[in-house]
Each structure stands twice: as C-alpha cells, then as structure tokens.
Amino acid sequence: MRIHVVTVLLAGVLALLASTGGTQGVRPQPGGVIRVGITQEILNLDPHVATAFSSFQVLDLVYESLLRLNPQTLRLEPNLAESWTVSPDGLTYTFRLRRGATFHDGSQVDATDVKYTIDRILDPATKSPQASFLEPVREVTAVDPFTVRITLKRPYAPFLSILTGPGRGIVPVNFEEKVRDPRIQTLGSGPYRLERFSTSAVRLVRHDRYWRRDGGGVRLPYADAVEFRVIPDPATLRAALRAGEVDLIVGFGVDVSAAQALSTVSGIRVQSAPDLAYSLVGIQNERAPLNDLRVRQALSLAVDRAAIARVVYSGRAAVAGPIPPTLEEWQPLPPARLPNYTPNLARARQLVQQAAQGRVALRVMPIPTVPEALQIAQVLREQVAPAGFAVEIEQVDFATFLARWRSSQFDLFVSLNGGSIDPDLHLYRHIHSTGSTNVFKFRDATVDALLDQGRSTLDVARRVRIYRDLQVQIAEKVPFLFLNYADVFAASRTQLRGFVLSSTRSMAPLAESWLVR
Amino acid sequence: MQRYLAQRLWQLPLVLLSVSAVVFSVMHLIPGDPAQLLLGFENTDPVQLARVRREFGLDRPIPVQYAIWLGRILRGELGTSVRTGRPIAQVIAEALPFTLELALYALVLAVAIGIPLGVWAGTERSRSVDMASQAFVLLGLSLPSFWVGTVLILVFSVRLRWFPILSYPRLVDDPLQNLWSLLLPALTLAVPNAAAIARMVRASMRAVRSEEYIRVAYAKGLTSQAVVRRHMLRNALVPVVTLIGIVAGYLLGGSVVVEQVFAIPGLGRTGLQAIVQRDYPLLQAVVLLVTTLFVLTNLAVDLVYVLLDPRIRYA
C-alpha cells in the first residue's frame, strides 16, 4: 500500500515536470547569433536624431528609456525607472531609478544622465525630432543619484507614454564627447551594444551586465549577438529567410500575400498582430470643392472601407475610426456607430449634387513607399465614381510626395499614419488646427477644444468620455478618411524561439529570443 | 599616338563639367527637399528645417551652390553626404570595389559566353545550331534582369542551396568564396551582354566568311580551326571590341537593378539611394566617377583597335 502511494506521488511529480516542460517548450538556450533581415538602409543610430524606421529597429535593443511599453499588452511598465509618482496638479513627476542598470561602458545609469538626456533632446542644436514631444517639460532635476523630478509647464496627459522607446532613450552625461560620432557609435543601457556599423549591415553583441532577468532569474539577453542585414528587394529578403540566411523578418517585406505564401513553407513560422498604424485618404480641406463639408462627407459615404480591407489586405485589416481597435481601454467606436462610415452611394450622390455642379474632379497621390497605397487609390477611384467623383491617380516619387505633403499641395493622398497607444499622440498633431502634421489644413473649434481637453485631463475615465465625443466629431467633420488598421506580419525560422510580434513592430522582444541548436 | 592620347584626355574635364552641370540642374529641377528628408516625415519644425538648409548650403541660389561645389571638387574635396553626414570619399571607397569587381566579373563572363557562342553560330552551317543560338540571344536580351536574378536565387540559393544569398566576403579575405558568391549576380549581369556580343560576333563572322582571303586560306590547306582563329575571328573582332567597350561602360554604371536584387552594397545602390534621398553631393560624386570610368573605358577600346588591326593608326 505504501509503495503504491509513492508510485502515485512519483507519477504526479513526473506529470508535473512534463506539463511545465510542455507549456514552456524547450528551455531557452543561451548563445548563438540571431540574424534579422530588413529592407531599408540603416542611416543614423543617434537615438534622439534618427527618423528612419530601420534605425529604431536597431536602437530598440541598444537604448532604453525610463518606461517601457509591454510589447504584448501595450501597457506601460517600469524600466529604468522602477516606480514613479505624479503630483495631484499633474505638473510634477518623480521617478525612482533602478539600481544596477549600467551603460555599455560599465557606468551606472543615474539621475544626472536622465537630466542630460532630456536637456539634449530639447537643445535646438541637437535638431531632435523628439523635441516637440517633450516641449511641455519645464525642468528636470536630479534630486539624488536615483531620484529624478520632472516639472511640466502645464498638465500633459500623454507624458508617461512619451517616456518609452529608444527615441527618448537615456544616454550618459557628456554622451557626445564620449562617443565622438553618435550617428555611427552608440552608448546605451539596452540588452545589446553596437559592435560593427555600416549602412547595409549592423552587428550588435550582448551587454553582459544588462539588468533584466527572465522569469527563472536568468540574465537576459540569451543570444550572443544580433545582426541586421539590409536586403532592399522584398523577394530576395524572403528567399534569404527560406534559405536559412536570416532568422527573422518583421513588417516591411512580409505583406499579407507574402505571409500567406510563407505560412505554408515548412520550417517557417508566421505571426500577425493588429497594427496601430492606419491607412488614410488625406484631404486638403482648404481647396474647393473639398472645403465644402458636404463633399467630404460624400467622399466618406462613397468609400466602402470593408471592401478595401477585403481587396487590398485580403481581409486582414479592421475597419475603424480615429481610435485603433486594439486600444480597448479607450473605447473605440465600432464603424456602425460612426457618422458617414456606413457606405451610402445614394446619399453621397445627393450631397455632391447639392454642393457642386457636374462631376467633382480630384487628383489622388499614393505614397510610393507603401505598396498598398496605390491599390487603395485604384479601388477608391472605382468606388467613388458612381457618387460623382472623377479621381485621377498621380504617381510621384517619395521626395516629391514629401515636398507636396509638407506644403499641402494635393487634393487627396493615400498614405499610412503611424499610430500610438495614447489617443492624444495618435490624433492631436494631425487634426488640431495648430498640429505639426496637420497638412490637411483642417480647422474646427469644437475638435480643437476636445483635443485640448483630452491633453490636459489626467483622469482616465474623463479622458475616455472626451475621446468618445471626439471620435463622433471627427467622423462628422471628415478632416481626412480613416480607412483600415491592417495586420502586421513577421516571419521567422522555427529555430528562433521567444520572439513575439508586437503591434508596434518592436525588436525589443529579441532580448528574450533564442535559437534552438 | 601620344598627341592623340593627350587630346582625348583633355576632353575628359570638359565632359565631366557638362555632365555635372546637367545632373546638378536636373536634380534641383525635380521637387523634393533634402533637408525635409533628413529630418523625417513628421518633423516639421521650420527652425530646424532652416538650420539644416543653412548647414548644407541649401539656402543659396542654385548657380551659387554649383559654383561652391565646383570649387571644392577642384581642391579635391568631395564633401560629406547630406543623408548620413559621412565623408563621400569613404562612402565611395566602400562601394566602388563591389561594383568594379562585379562589372569586371560580368564582362569576363559575357565575353567567355558571347564570343564562343557567336563563333559557333557564325561558322556552323547547321540550322538547329543557329536557331538555338538565336533563341539564346533573343531570350538573353529580352528577359529583365530583376526577373533573371530572382529566378536564379530561387533555384540555386533557396532550392539547391549552392550559393549563399547575402554573404559577400571581400576579394582579399577569401578570393574563392568571393568569386563563388558573386557568380549569380555576375551571371545575371552577363546574360544580356553575352547575348549582344554573340549576336555581333555571329554577324561579323558571317560577313567575313565570304571574303576572298578566307577562300585563299582554305586553298592553302589550313585546317578550318586555324582559318577561323587566325583569319576570321581576328578580322571579325573589331566591331565586337567596340561593343565590349560599350558593355563595360554600361556594366560600371548600370548594375543598379542587380545590386538591388542581390543586396550588394555597390555604387549603383549608393547612386539610387542618393537620388531617392536627394543627396545632391553624393549623387554628383557617383555620377562623376561613373562618367570618368566610362570615358576611360572608351579610350582603352580605341587603343585596343591598334593592337587588333594594324591598318588603324592615330596620328
């Protein structure tokens, strides 16, 4: 009888071991080199100056900021700051820094480094595109080595969301003197440090004293090195993955059709996540007849967003309004509840007839760097024709697109806008009359007021109500057409484990990835 | 001969001057602002834009910009890239070896394929041989290189795994591996040129075949191999050398597509990126270099004529 109990116990222990082994898969194996294929050249590695997406893919692993965006939940988490408090008036933020975080040269990350970083971003001589995000900062004070106080000029709800990502990455005091040329040399506190740089290939090696550990207490990162290789042609990039010459490609290079083709290849794993970025039809709101609200509403009613999602994105895209559908805590309204979102050609035709005599001739300029933009423009042309729009597609190169976009020289354009986890960062600069990227020349007092309230209100429940009103206002007044939030894809060799694709396309999960060998 | 050489070399600066002026004005005629491209899509601060424009002299009138650039070039300064801020001399020094090697490699392959094929098609009297060579010529000339390159990668790198896709070791580090890994791109570049050379060789072999002196050579009792090599080929080669000169020039400047498909960080890709990013000084440097190489190749071809045909002399 006693023997029997022991066997049962043993069997139980074995089953338990087997089950934990089963849920965790293979135990992380340290070592190895993870090779990532990207399509865009890596131009600049200065975290506060870089603008190219490819630069940030590398910088995700090299620099860290005070907070971190959990790649899966998209929630804010402690990072170099262990904890923080916000004063009741929303003007003073106090951060407790983590002890034991070090830069790649071995020196401790402390409060003076945080002050130096924010001052560097705000210094006009740095020419940082990040400066406008930190404009509300009045002063940064190093209270003691591990306490930083940041005071703001006015309450600024998205402030904590801004303190994430490599663009606001913490650099050591006298960074520029220490690295000589920050465009091609780095000094951060992230899981990897730069070993070799050229515009077509970058090699990072592990930061041996990186602070973060996995659930089992093992020091991260697992892999010895991460290499980024630039392969400009997407077909070659995918061939390289199939031939086993790269382990991972994310986003650009794996569109929906490529993802479908790769998902049937043995040895390759395809992941997807809903994007925060959205496709849009930009509208020049000051140009006749688009300055007439009825014409803009007619355009919105004539477009069948669900059909675009089906035709262009093979159904792997969500129809949604001004708030990304993934950000459920901000209560994005479903399309059926947004004005002018349900296609209605008869109503659209009626509005066009009221507003204009004859057909409305418009030119649409698709952005050349996003292949889907041209397809969207083609579908758009067909969809809106019955309502009385004669749309002509005008293809230009990227520099031309940018110049015309900047100076609002367009009727319509089709492009992709990067998204954000905070509705203020997602909408303000595009839609507020003083917004830095309001190339649409949209001006509306009610919308401005709601955007300003959303920015200065810290109470989350009240902010949710403000943005709910704003969603309806935007759909009603049509500054431009929000179309789809498409899925983003990643394809990897099955040997690569632990990489979970994020909506932000972040490479940060590579710190917790390893290769089965 | 020396006077001729001096005269030809004199023309080089004139050619370079006019080419650079044309490129400079065309680049500034098309829309696009390098300062905005440098600052990125969403950075719209007018103060920062003005600062970048001033830093790179982009706020000056175009003729003044050209004059300043010309002055620097005459002092041997290529300047720095607007896009990356790196010295242009360094950017080019990194890219040029790949392009030079690729062009030379492709040229050797094109000649090695094109001339025997042309000779064979031009001397063999069987219809099927001629048909086969004509088919190669037609396909080689009409298949676009981005397609040929992608198919070669899929067959030989992905399916058969004979060639690596991305690792191009430097020639000095590992010559054999280097030649092996560059074989597919070089072949892609060589195919249309081999076809053009084969067609030209075949046509001139046929023209020479009916000449009197060929009949005399046969009458002397020479073997047909000797007739072909000593009498036909040598005479047929003069127009072919002209073509090879043009091909060489084309290869030096025209490997943009192949460099893109095979991810080779060469001069073609550098030039393409410079156009896309409106990196004026970098593009000017690339164009100057390619023009110089083109002019020098043509000069070399003219000198080779003398070796091939003693009747040609330059006084």
pLDDT in tens, A159-199: 999 999 999 999 999 999 999 889 889 999 999 999 999 88
Tokens encoding B129: 């041989």
Identify which of A331, A285, A329 has the alpha carbon closest to the alpha carbon of residue A481.
A285
Question: Which percentage of chain A shows pLDDT scores above 90?
Answer: 79
Residue B94's closest chain A neighbor by CA?
A198
Query: How many Å lie between the alpha carbon of B126 and the closest alpha carbon of chain A?
Result: 41
B1/B217: higher pLDDT:
B217
Query: Which residue of A181, A236, A439 is the best one to mutate when testing the B interface, meaning the one whose CB has the most B CBs within 10 A?
Result: A236
Cβ-defined contact of B41 to A246 (cutoff 8 Å): no
Count Cβ atoms within 10 A of the Cβ of residue B307 and give its class: 0-12 exposed, 13-18 middle, 19 or more buried: exposed
pLDDT in tens, A414-431: 999 988 999 999 999 999
Query: How many Å lie between the alpha carbon of A35 and the closest alpha carbon of chain B?
Result: 11
How many whole angstroms from its chain centre is CA A432? Answer: 21
Q: Is A455 helix (H, G, I), strand (E, B) or coil?
A: helix
Confidence grade of residue A403 (pLDDT, cut at 50, 70, 90): confident
- Residue A397 is predicted with a pLDDT of 87
Residue type, A435: G
Token pair 């780095």 is at which residue? Answer: A186
Confidence check: pLDDT of A2 > 50: no
> Mean pLDDT over residues A274-285, rounded?
96
Query: Which residue of B27, B91, B166 is the best one to mutate when testing the A interface, meaning the one whose CB has the most A CBs within 10 A?
Result: B166
A408/B221: higher pLDDT:
A408
pLDDT in tens, A248-273: 999 888 989 899 999 999 999 999 99
> Mean pLDDT over residues A223-249, rounded?
92
Count Cβ atoms within 10 A of the Cβ of residue A458 and give its class: 0-12 exposed, 13-18 middle, 19 or more buried: middle
Chain B contacts of A402, Cβ < 8 Å?
A: 32-33, 36-37, 41
> Mean pLDDT over residues A43-65, rounded?
92
Cβ-defined contact of B263 to A230 (cutoff 8 Å): yes
3-state SS of A368-407? CCCHHHHHHHHHHHHHHHHHCEEEEECCCCHHHHHHHHHC
Residues within 8 A of A (CB atoms), B 93-112 only: 94
Confidence check: pLDDT of A5 > 60: no
Confidence grade of residue A26 (pLDDT, cut at 50, 70, 90): low
Chain A contacts of B38, Cβ < 8 Å?
A: 51
Q: Does residue A183 sit at the B interface (CB-CB below 8 Å)? A: yes
Cβ-defined contact of B85 to A232 (cutoff 8 Å): no
Cβ-defined contact of B167 to A245 (cutoff 8 Å): yes
Out of A200, A242, A243, closest to residue B265 by CB = A200
Confidence grade of residue B146 (pLDDT, cut at 50, 70, 90): confident
A158-172, A280-294, B137-151: segment of lowest average pLDDT: B137-151
Out of B32, B39, B261, closest to residue A129 by CB = B39
Out of A131, A200, A239, closest to residue B158 by CB = A239
- Residue B110 is predicted with a pLDDT of 93
A34-43, A345-354, B191-200, B267-276: segment of lowest average pLDDT: B267-276
- Residue B218 is predicted with a pLDDT of 86
Q: Is A222 helix (H, G, I), strand (E, B) or coil?
A: coil
> Mean pLDDT over residues B170-191, rounded?
87
| Cα separation, B57 vs B141, whole angstroms | 44
> Mean pLDDT over residues A380-400, rounded?
94
Question: Which percentage of chain B shows pLDDT scores above 70?
Answer: 96
Q: Does residue A267 sit at the B interface (CB-CB below 8 Å)? A: no
- Residue B216 is predicted with a pLDDT of 87
In DSSP terms, which residues pair with A415 in a beta bridge? A280
Q: Does residue A45 sit at the B interface (CB-CB below 8 Å)? A: no
CB contacts < 8 A (A, B): 116
Terminal CA-CA length for chain B: 6
Confidence check: pLDDT of B129 > 90: no
Confidence grade of residue A7 (pLDDT, cut at 50, 70, 90): very low
ipTM of the complex in this document: 0.72
Most confident of A233-237, A306-310, B280-284: A306-310
Q: Render the burial of A97-114: b for 16+ CB within 10 Å, e for the rest.
A: bbeebbbbeeeebbbebb
- Residue B226 is predicted with a pLDDT of 84
- Residue A1 is predicted with a pLDDT of 41
Residue B263's closest chain A neighbor by CA?
A231
Q: Is A215 helix (H, G, I), strand (E, B) or coil?
A: coil
Residue A390 φ/ψ region, left for φ over 0, alpha for ψ in the -120 to 50 degree band, beta for the rest: beta
> β-pairing, A496-497 with A76-78?
unpaired
Query: Which residue of B33, B42, B92 is the best one to mutate when testing the A interface, meaning the one whose CB has the most A CBs within 10 A?
Result: B42
3-state SS of chain B? CHHHHHHHHHHHHHHHHHHHHHHHHHHHHCCCCHHHHHHCCCCCCHHHHHHHHHHCCCCCCHHHHHHHHHHHHHCCCCCECCCCCCEHHHHHHHHHHHHHHHHHHHHHHHHHHHHHHHHHHHHCCCHHHHHHHHHHHHHHHHCCHHHHHHHHHHHHHHHCCCCCCCCCCCCCCCHHHHHHHCHHHHHHHHHHHHHHHHHHHHHHHHHHHCCHHHHHHHHCCCCHHHHHHHHHHHHHHHHHHHHHHHHHHHHHHCCHHHHHHCCCCCHHHHHHHHHHCCCHHHHHHHHHHHHHHHHHHHHHHHHHHHHHCCCCCCC
What is residue A74's DSSP assignment?
Answer: -
Cβ-defined contact of B36 to A403 (cutoff 8 Å): yes
- Residue B254 is predicted with a pLDDT of 57
Residue B49's closest chain A neighbor by CA?
A127
Query: How many Å lie between the alpha carbon of A16 and the closest alpha carbon of chain B?
Result: 42
Identify which of A405, A436, A395, A374 has the alpha carbon closest to the alpha carbon of residue A130.
A436
A111-125, A159-173, B43-57: segment of lowest average pLDDT: B43-57
Cβ-defined contact of A399 to B31 (cutoff 8 Å): yes
Out of A51, A243, A418, closest to residue B161 by CB = A243
Cβ-defined contact of A231 to B83 (cutoff 8 Å): no
Q: Does residue A86 sit at the B interface (CB-CB below 8 Å)? A: no
N residues, chain B: 315
| Cα separation, A121 vs A253, whole angstroms | 32
Query: How many Å lie between the alpha carbon of A154 and the closest alpha carbon of chain B?
Result: 21
CA angle B7, B287, B23 (to 5 degrees): 100
Chain A contacts of B39, Cβ < 8 Å?
A: 51, 127, 129
- Residue A8 is predicted with a pLDDT of 45
Question: Which percentage of chain B shows pLDDT scores above 90?
Answer: 13
Confidence check: pLDDT of A14 > 70: no
Confidence check: pLDDT of A377 > 90: yes
Confidence check: pLDDT of A289 > 90: yes
> Mean pLDDT over residues A429-449, rounded?
94
Question: Which percentage of chain A shows pLDDT scores above 70?
Answer: 95
Q: Does residue A99 sit at the B interface (CB-CB below 8 Å)? A: no
- For residues A41 and A54, the answer to whether their CB atoms sit within 8 Å is yes
| Cα separation, B89 vs B224, whole angstroms | 53
B4/A480: higher pLDDT:
A480
A46-50, A68-72, B204-208: segment of lowest average pLDDT: B204-208
- Residue B300 is predicted with a pLDDT of 83
Residues within 8 A of A (CB atoms), B 56-85 only: 83-85
Tokens encoding B310: 């003693």
| Cα separation, B295 vs B290, whole angstroms | 9
- Residue A72 is predicted with a pLDDT of 87
Residues within 8 A of A (CB atoms), B 180-209 only: none
Cβ-defined contact of A399 to B265 (cutoff 8 Å): no
Tokens encoding A492: 């990897």
Query: How many Å lie between the alpha carbon of B95 and the closest alpha carbon of chain A?
Result: 11
> Mean pLDDT over residues B254-260, rounded?
82
B43/B168: higher pLDDT:
B168
> Mean pLDDT over residues A114-140, rounded?
93
Out of B31, B39, B153, closest to residue A236 by CB = B153
- Residue A121 is predicted with a pLDDT of 95
Q: Is A6 helix (H, G, I), strand (E, B) or coil?
A: helix
Cβ-defined contact of A236 to B277 (cutoff 8 Å): no
Rounded to two decimals, what is the model's pTM?
0.82
> Mean pLDDT over residues A153-160, rounded?
96
* Sequence-ordered list of residues with C-beta below 8 angstroms from that of A207, at least 6 positions apart, any chain: A104, A189, A190, A191, A192, A193, A221
pLDDT in tens, B14-45: 888 888 888 888 878 777 777 777 776 666 67
- Residue B189 is predicted with a pLDDT of 92
| Cα separation, B193 vs B252, whole angstroms | 13
pLDDT in tens, B62-106: 888 888 888 888 888 888 888 777 889 988 998 888 888 999 999
Q: Does residue A242 sit at the B interface (CB-CB below 8 Å)? A: yes
Compute the mean pLDDT over every residue in chain A, rounded to the nearest whole number. 92
